[in-house]
Structure 1
């Protein structure tokens, strides 16, 4: 069975709302199992991420979708601590040929959220993963998806503490897209590893 993991940090609940929609999108694809992994405060010890169980779940996934709120133009410190901990898998390229994608949310309409998505794509590239972005033009979709026009991943906006419905729908779309591509291609790619 194909496994898609969604790993994210959320302080206020907005990134979690996007994560749950990503999970919902993955769940629309038959024969794909989704694992939701939230980075928690207790996963950090003296500034370092330490959760071997979560890392083992990710090791066994065919795709990993990253999520974090945008703080000061980048991922949260908690997500960065998680990302730094993945370096133990980097030297052996343990995650190569897994699929990856990402989502973020911020309180400003353009609060440099694209930098957060770019960081996640760079993290995936460091691991030899294959990044999947959106395949819908921003602002031109008849059902209002990708309203903020970030092709690299889902960018959400929550000015009043609530994530915009279009951004939630875009997150669900990305989850489904990544699940479909992963289900179709993962076994062929793992054979190349």
Structure 2
């Protein structure tokens, strides 16, 4: 939505499209949405992709930005997310409806590494095939010096997207730790800020 008198969008919509196997990644998704909502002019919607239906596709089509999220299982996104990703061909076949939307991603696993980077790469390829514009995490890598701490923002040192680690023997009420949720919120804020800037630029260009 745009206010053509000021050449600025009145608001932007961020959709967080995610799957969570045991609830840990859902907490990460909530943190992304909360971070996005901290940016004035942004609304954020949590969309579980467990069930593919017209309501889900309509919400994604209406969004200005889509943030993809899934746990990393065996080095790649969960099977439920892969089913969703394959289902997005409905948007591809209908005039690439997600073209030029902002995209980003996040993932969680039990191990510190867990080959989470591979999941984020899968998300970027999905976004690229839709003609979307990828936004990464712009935070200094934490926990990388003797003075660093597990409490550092971006403690896992990821820039393609937000990573989180959840101990396999605790529930989502405990994990991911607060530092990883703060990192997810930082991603949400950046997505919202970039989306607002991009849409404002597009609105001005449309008037020239």
TM-score by length of 1: 0.89
Match of 2:130 among 84, 109, 127: 127
For structure 2, list consecutive stretches of 5 or more residues without a partner in the other structure.
1-10
Aligned to 1:83: 85
Aligned to 1:105: 108
Residue-by-residue CA offset, 1:31-89 (whole Å, 9 max, x unaligned): 1111110123xx2xxxxxx3111111000100000000001110111011111111121
Are 1:186 and 2:179 matched, yes or no? no
Give distance in 2, aligned partners of 1:15 and 1:104: 7
SS in 1 for 2:46: strand
Give distance in 2, aligned partners of 1:27 and 1:134: 17
SS in 1 for 2:121: helix
Are 1:150 and 2:124 matched, yes or no? no
Aligned to 1:29: 39
Residue-by-residue CA offset, 1:119-158 (whole Å, 9 max, x unaligned): 0011001101001001122126997211111110011101
Task: Select the structure of larger CA radius of gyration.
Answer: 2
After TM superposition, what 4+ stretches of structure 1 lie above 6 angstroms from structure 2? 140-143
Aligned to 1:20: 30
For structure 1, list consecutive stretches of 5 or more residues without a partner in the other structure.
44-49
CA contact under 8 A between 1:97 and 1:189: conserved in structure 2? no
Matches within 5 A, 1:55-94: 55-91=57-93, 92-94=95-97
RMSD over aligned CA atoms reads: 1.8
1:189 shift after superposition: 4.2
